[in-house]
Structure 1
Amino acid sequence: MIPARYKASRFPGKLMKILGGKPVILRTYEAALNTNLFDEVYVVTDSDVIYKTIVDANGKAIMSKKEHECGSDRIAEAVENLEVDVVVNVQGDEPFIDTESLTKLIQVFKDDKVHAVDLASLKVQMTAIEEIENPNNVKVITDVNNMAIYFSRSVIPFHRDKEVDVKYYKHKGVYAFRKQALIDFYNTPITPLEAAEKIEAIRYQEIGKKIKMVETTVESIGIDTPEDLEKAINILKDNE
């Protein structure tokens, strides 16, 4: 599922900007299809323009019926009546899909025979102090089995004993969910810690869902600004 809002706050209409002759959202949709990892790929949108763009290209799209606070809500509404086991959320503004990381996420559920995992998500190590201290980077700490303990915009863990080696991880907002976890999230109002931190992953934790974190070294290339779009255009040219 590729949630796709037209009204992005920092770069309105970014998903319909042209990247190598095609709108960004169509590039992302085709990239997801071309991974051959999924039984079905859908764009889930509140925009007639985005919906038409995908359908006119013989793609599959679902119109959201409601306004949604976050991608999880939009996806949950879309899958509520679909026969699915595991749903993967691919960001609409990331046309250069990291197939290796998505494969690792899906493998979590193939290995989880006892259904101990409700969600899987990605983390990438940070070493630069500016990155670690930047509240726009959501940090995640895990237990010895790589299950998420907590997510925060604060620096976690706090490095009190400088003799101890500490690693810091940024949460990448790419998720794979069991369908029931999504539906339970959707049916629960915003929780207190989620409201404080503005991190949707925390709601899953506050309602008791278990999140397995998978480490990746691949930094995603998202399109959040006009400058990002220029970079993406250049990357595409270099790859052709």
Structure 2
Amino acid sequence: MVLGLIPARFASTRLPGKPLVDLGGQSMIQRVVAQAQQANLARVVVATDDERILRHVQEFGGEAVLTHPHHPSGTDRLWEAFQLLGSPADVHCIVNIQGDEPFINPAQINALADLFADPATAPDIATLVKPVLTEEELFSPHLPKVVLNQLGHALYFSRHPLPYQRGREPHEWLAHHHYLRHLGLYAYKPSVLEQLTRLPVSPLEAAESLEQLRWLEAGFRIQCAETELEAFGIDTPEDAERARVRLGH
């Protein structure tokens, strides 16, 4: 069974109450849940630290659990949510779906879940990557880049363009290499998720402020699936307004 968990915190520096923001007549979290329910998930559950979000999800017919308000990372919140659900033994894959991506494509979720279909070949962790298309994307520290080995396993994630191209000007880089950026959708084996919550902050993670580097430093394998589909995260009031325009409101 594949379980979809959606972390949803009320507090947000740039957009307080973000999960409840109205986007064309539905809240953001309701739209995320609706998209996730179209994927091949046996169950979709919102993991929230706020009773207002809990009640709202229950009111529109969704499922939610109330987690502790203070977690060092979203991964820790996911693990608590899994425990609150009784740690069901028939779950072989947990998909971590970002609660601020109301346009997430169900195909993106399925692409990760499919990697766990065969227990013999299932990775520890899986995530999505997308080709970098513009120089703005390539040099934005807000869009982490990733380099892979020949098997599609992540070698490193960075907020800096990877790889550096010696002998070429930065404006030439995109024309001479297939750059990839990371999309914040993850899937894990339940046993691996538990192990991740026990890891201390690592030096590379502290340097880049990227939690997945902690996992790489600890020796976990991160399988990357490439997608052409765009992600549309909402972090600011301006992002929310662009989403309303996209919805025709």
TM-score relative to the length of structure 2: 0.89
Structure 1 letter corresponding to 2:211: E
- When the two structures are aligned, how many residues end up with a matched partner? 236
SS in 2 for 1:42: strand
Which stretch has the larger CA shift, 44-53 or 189-198?
Answer: 189-198
The answer to whether 1:88 aligns with 2:95 is yes
CA distance, structure 2, for counterparts of residue 206 and residue 130 of structure 1: 29
The answer to whether 1:182 aligns with 2:196 is no
User: In the TM superposition, what whole-angstrom CA distance separates every residue of 1:34-75 from its partner, at most 9, and x where no partner exists?
Assistant: x14111100001111101101122211111125123221110
Structure 2 letter corresponding to 1:82: S
Q: What value does the CA root-mean-square deviation take over the aligned residues? A: 1.8
CA distance, structure 1, for counterparts of residue 230 and residue 48 of structure 2: 25
Matches within 5 A, 1:114-125: 114-115=121-122, 117-125=123-131
The answer to whether 1:18 aligns with 2:22 is yes
Equivalent residue in structure 2 for 1:107, among 104, 108, 114: 114
Equivalent residue in structure 2 for 1:29, among 14, 28, 33: 33
Deviation for aligned residue 1:232: 1.4
CA distance, structure 1, for counterparts of residue 101 and residue 136 of structure 2: 23
Equivalent residue in structure 2 for 1:144, among 144, 150, 167: 150
Deviation for aligned residue 1:235: 1.9
Identity %: 37
The answer to whether 1:225 aligns with 2:236 is yes
User: In the TM superposition, what whole-angstrom CA distance separates every residue of 1:9-48 from its partner, at most 9, and x where no partner exists?
Assistant: 2211121111122211122112211x14111100001111
Structure 1 letter corresponding to 2:188: F
Which residue does the alignment assign to 2:179?
A: 168
SS in 2 for 1:209: coil
The answer to whether 1:7 aligns with 2:11 is yes
CA distance, structure 1, for counterparts of residue 7 and residue 192 of structure 2: 17
CA distance, structure 2, for counterparts of residue 70 and residue 217 of structure 1: 28
Which stretch has the larger CA shift, 159-168 or 104-113?
Answer: 159-168
Deviation for aligned residue 1:97: 2.0
Per the alignment, do residues 114 and 218 of structure 1 end up closer, same or farther by CA in structure 2, a change over 3 Å counting? Answer: closer
Which residue does the alignment assign to 1:132?
A: 138
Deviation for aligned residue 1:107: 1.3
SS in 1 for 2:117: helix
Deviation for aligned residue 1:130: 2.5
SS in 2 for 1:41: strand
CA distance, structure 1, for counterparts of residue 162 and residue 72 of structure 2: 26
CA distance, structure 2, for counterparts of residue 195 and residue 97 of structure 1: 29
SS in 1 for 2:225: strand
* Runs ≥4 residues deviating over 3 A: 161-165
